[in-house]
Amino acid sequence: MPHPPAPTPSPVPADPVRDWADSGIVALTGHADEPPLVPPGRAASRARELGERIAALTQGRVRLDGGRLLGERAAFTVHRRNGPVSAGGACRLLPTADGWAAVSCARPDDPLLLGALVQAELPADPWQGVAAWLREHTGDDLAERAELLGAAAAPVRHLAVAPPRPPQLPPRPVDGLLVVDFSALWAGPLCAQLLGLAGARVVKVETPTRPDGARRGHPGFYRLLHAGHRSVVIDPTTSAGRRVLAELVEAADIVIEASRPRALARFGLDAHAAVAAGTTWISITAAGRSSDRIGFGDDVAASAGLVAHDDRGAPVFCGDAIADPLTGLTAAALALTAPADGSGMLWDLAMTDVVAATLDRAPAGPAPSARRQADGWVVDAADGPLPVAEPQRRRPAGQAPGSGVDTAAVLADLGIPRP
C-alpha cells in the first residue's frame, strides 16, 4: 500500500555552525582538556540535507536528523574528543617530514602491517616506531607504501572538490525489495539500515573467517544498524559457496559492498554483470573502485582535510569517523532512486570524495572555539550563541540477528539450494 505524501517541512537555511553544534560533532572535536572546536566545512549541513532527502524519497516513512547521525556511534560508546587520537582510539594524527598523516591500527593484523610499512619489527604498541618512521618520510612515501601493503594510512591534505552531480533519477519505492549487504562496520550497514526502515528486506552476508568487525564493537550500536535484518554465512572458498553467493546476487534488487572490488570478484561476483541485469550496486570504497587504497572513517575523513586546527596549528580529529555515516547517508539516498526503465545502476562512492565535497577551502587559522556558558558549551554564530549538543542515539527497532542464524531460512525462501 503506498504511503501518503509527507507534509513538506518549511526549509531551514543551512548554517554550518548551527548544524555542527546541533550534530554532537563539536563536542567530539578538540583536546580532552580544552574547549571543543568547530570543524571546517559543511558536512553536518550536508548530512542534514541528506536526511531531508531520504524523508522526501520515502514519502515520510524514514524521518531522521542526518546531522545527528554523524555522532551517533559515540553516543553508544561514550567516546570523547581526544585531540590527535580519534574518539575510538584506533587512529592517530602524526607529523611527517612534510606535513601530517592519519594512521589507523584497528584490525587484529594491523600491527604487523604497520611493521611492514616502516620496515621494522614493532612491539604490540606500534605507535612510537610508526611516529619515528613518519618523521623521516613524506606523505607521498606513506601513501605509496600504505596502498601497496593495504594499510589504512594516508597524508592529511585538503582535497576540496566540487560536489558530485549524480544523475537525477526518479524515486523508487523499496517496499519488499531484496537488499544483499556484503558490507561491514558503519557506512554500508547504515545504508542497509535506512533501506530496511523504508521497507526493504535486508540480508547481511558474511563469511566464516571474515565476520563483520563491528560485532566486536558496542553491542547496542551493532543492534541499531542490524535490527530486523537476516544473517547469512556462506563459505566462498568452496564451489558450492560461490554458487550460493552468485544466486544471492542474482536474486537481489540492491547489492551493497564496502571493500575493494577485487574482494567480491575473487568469489566470482561481477558488479557490471549484475548491473546489466537490472541490479542497483552500491560500491563504497576509500578512494573509488579504481584505487587499491584501504581506509576507515577516521583516516579517510582526516586525509580529505576534515581536521580542525588548535591554537598551536596542530590538527585534531573532527568527531568520530565522520566519513562513514556521511557516506552511508549518501548511499541510501542514491539507492532510493533508480532509472525509470528498470535498468541497473552502479554507484561508485569514494568516501574521500564524499568528505572532500563538503570542504570549500583550507581553513586560514585555528578553528573557532566553544566557550563555557552555565554548565554547558556554546559557540558563537551570527544570530547569537548556540548550545553545543552532546552526541545522541536512536533507539534500535528490534534485535540484531546472530551470525548465520538465518542462512537456511533465507536460502529456502529464495529457492537457493544449500551448499
Neighbours of 235 (CB within 10 A): 14
372 in helix, strand or coil?
strand
Instruction: Tell me the three cell numbers of residue 64.
Output: 531522521
| CATH number for position 198 | 3.40.50.10540
Lookup: cell for 255: 547489492
Q: Copy the grid coordinates of residue 60.
A: 515520510
Domain that holds residue 66: 16-81+161-374+389-413
Kindly give the confidence (pLDDT) of every residue in the chain, 419 residues in length, as a single tens digit, with 9 standing for 90 and above.
333 333 334 455 679 999 999 999 999 999 999 999 999 999 999 999 999 999 999 999 999 999 999 999 999 999 999 999 999 999 999 999 999 999 999 998 999 999 999 999 998 899 999 999 999 999 999 999 999 999 999 999 987 666 667 778 999 999 999 999 999 999 999 999 999 999 999 999 999 998 999 999 999 999 999 999 999 999 999 999 999 999 999 999 999 999 988 889 899 999 999 999 999 999 999 999 999 999 999 999 999 999 999 999 999 999 999 999 999 999 999 999 999 999 999 999 999 999 999 998 776 689 999 999 988 999 998 888 999 999 999 999 899 999 999 999 999 999 999 88
β-pairing, 201-206 with 280-285?
A: unpaired
Tell me whether residue 394 is exposed, middle or buried, using C-beta atoms within 10 angstroms of its C-beta: 0 to 12, 13 to 18, 19 or more: middle
> Would you say residue 1 lies in a domain?
no
Cβ(68)–Cβ(22) below 8 Å: yes
CA 398 to chain centre: 22
**Residue 262, Cβ density class (10 Å: 0-12 exposed, 13-18 middle, ≥19 buried):** exposed
Which one-letter amino acid corresponds to residue 274? A
Q: Nine-digit cell at 67?
A: 546531522
Cα 409 from Cα 406, distance rounded (Å): 5
Residue 42 inside a domain? The answer is yes
Identify the sign of the CA torsion 215, 241, 192, 89: positive
Beta strand spans in 213-329 (E):
230-233, 254-257, 280-285, 307-309, 315-317
**CA of 239: how far to CAs of 196, 201, 257, 326, 338, in Å?**
30, 26, 21, 37, 33
Do residues 342 and 277 make contact, with C-beta atoms less than 8 angstroms apart? no
Can you say how many angstroms the Cα of residue 401 is from the centroid of all Cα atoms in its chain? Answer: 21
pTM: 0.94
Q: Is residue 249 part of a domain?
A: yes
User: 181: how many CB neighbours lie within 10 A of its CB?
Assistant: 31
**Per-residue model confidence (pLDDT) at position 1:** 32
Residues facing residue 92 across a β-bridge: 85, 103
70 in any annotated domain: yes
In the chain, the number of structural domains is: 1
Asked, for residue 148, whether it belongs to a domain, the answer is no
Q: How far is 132 from 40, CA to CA, in rounded Å? A: 29
C-alpha distances (whole Å) from 289 to each of 38, 182, 406 are 32, 16, 31
Q: Is residue 139 part of a domain?
A: no
In a domain, 115, yes or no: no
CA dihedral 203, 210, 270, 168 (to 10 degrees): 60
Distance, in Å, from the CA atom of 336 to the CA atom of 346, rounded to the nearest integer, reads 13
Q: Which of 44, 126, 95, 112 is nearest to 326 (CA)?
A: 44
CA–CA separation, 220 and 214 (whole Å): 11
Reported as type and span, the H/E element at residue 141 is helix 139-149
Residue 104 lies in a domain: no
Distance CA 151, CA 103 (A): 8
